[in-house]
Structure 1
Amino acid sequence: MSAKTKIVVLHMKELIFTGILAVLGIFLIIMLLVMFLPKDGSTKENAESTGKYQPGVYTASVMLNDSALDVQVVVDENNINSVSLVNLDETVETMYPLVKPAMEELAQQIVDTQSLDNITYSQSNQYTSIVLMNAIEEAIEKASLD
């Protein structure tokens, strides 16, 4: 025998384990690529599936003489969930008795129609309703994605 001749002994068990590990490694790399590479259609779907509003609670202030009154609007992605008054003090409620009924009337219409268009005001609290509608519009503009 010459000094250059080498005998290599391969065990069948080692070959099988090496083959299985190679296949699992290739499978893992393919799965990572599939999971983390962006798809062209996914960005278009996300842009189309976004709603009209940024979900959250938004407020706008109304000044009534020296008192600040906050109008709070709660929205999710596509809906106006509630419209209410916050920081309604007893003195403000006593001095401006039309504020609370006007807000309740407006809130009901806005939540039912999901729009600020075609809102009706009663004759007795028309000006109060207009002031409150301006504050509601301001809060919804803060929530709007447009």
Structure 2
Amino acid sequence: MAIDDKEAAERLIHYARSERPDLHIVARAHDRVHVYRLFRAGANDIVREMFDSSLRAGRYVLENVGLSEYEAHEAEKAFYKHDRHAMRQLAPLWDPDKPVYENEAYVARAKELEQELESTMLSTRTGEALDDEGAAEDKEAEG
């Protein structure tokens, strides 16, 4: 499901989920907050509109500052994997009635995830094996 009206998308997903709990819903989100809103509405898989192109742009930057194509691709994969894990961790903590910076549980988990990302990116850069923490959980959540 991909429509430009964010609120209409949420209403449609909520309606579809209420009518067909067995339906697998794939939806396009405009941004991170919209991901959380679609998650709450009942979407199973959510694709962020600008995320993939941003990843690709980041990989090009890494290649242009001296990383090999392989190293840049590995960094891109590591970031993608971590971000999916982080989104699944943060979505249940997000509270639409509270600014993110006032949501202590969300902020605390986001800081932990940021440290994990830094460690992951450093290990990717130094050639160490990538950490698969969260991969099984993410795969299970994907269905």
Which TM bucket (shorter chain)?
Answer: under 0.3
When normalised by structure 2's length, the TM-score is 0.27
* The structure with more radius of gyration: 1
Greater RCO, 1 or 2 (C-alpha within 8 Å, sep 6+): 1
When normalised by structure 1's length, the TM-score is 0.27
